[in-house]
Copies of this chain bind each other. A is one copy, B any other.
Amino acid sequence: MSEVEPRTEAGDVLTEVIMRTFRLYGGFLEAAEVMTKPVGLTAAWWQVLGAVLRQPLPVSGIAREMSLTRQSVQRIADLLVAKGLAEYLPNPAHKRAKLFRPTEAGYAAVSSLAQAQHAFTNRISAQVDPDDLRTTLKVMERLVEALDADEWPTGDA
C-alpha cells in the first residue's frame, strides 16, 4: 500500500541527536537541581524567578514569555510567595492580574545561583572544542526553527 519511507543518512544522525537531546536535557536538569538545592529553590522556581528579575510581570505574562501555561506558573508563583521569595503587588492596570516580583530574599537566591551556573558552564564547556560548540549552537537554532515551521502531515489527509 503506502510507500515505505527510506532512511536517509542525515535522518539517522538526527535520530542519534534526538536521543542525546533527551539525555542532555536530563543531565542539565539534574545539574540545575543540584545547584538550586543549597539555595532552597528548585529548577522550576529558579526559572520563574529569573523571568521577573528585571521588571515585575503578571503570572500570565511570565507564562507567555516562557511558553508555559498560566496554570503551571501560577502554582509556582504562589509557592514562591508562600516561601517569602516573591510577592504580589497590586496592578493599577488590571485588578485581577497582580504583579509578581522577587523579594530581597528572592534576589539574593538568584544571585548566588548565577555564580554556580557560571562555574558549571565554564567547567563543562572547557571540555569541548569552542568552534564545534558554536557550530552546535548554530545547528540547534536551525533545528528549533525547523521544528517550529514543520507542518505535521496529517497522516493521509
Contacts and interface: CB of A to CB of B under 8 A. Distances in A.
Contact of A150 (B124, B146, B148): B124
Interface in A1-30: 2, 4-18, 20-28
Contact of A122 (B5, B23, B24): B5
Given A118-B5, A119-B153, A125 B25 contact: no
A144 to B, nearest CB: 5
The contact size tier of chain A is 35 or more
B125 A136 contact: no
Nearest to A35: B152
Interface of A: 2, 4-18, 20-28, 31, 34, 38, 67, 115, 117-119, 121-130, 132-144, 146-148, 150, 152-153, 155
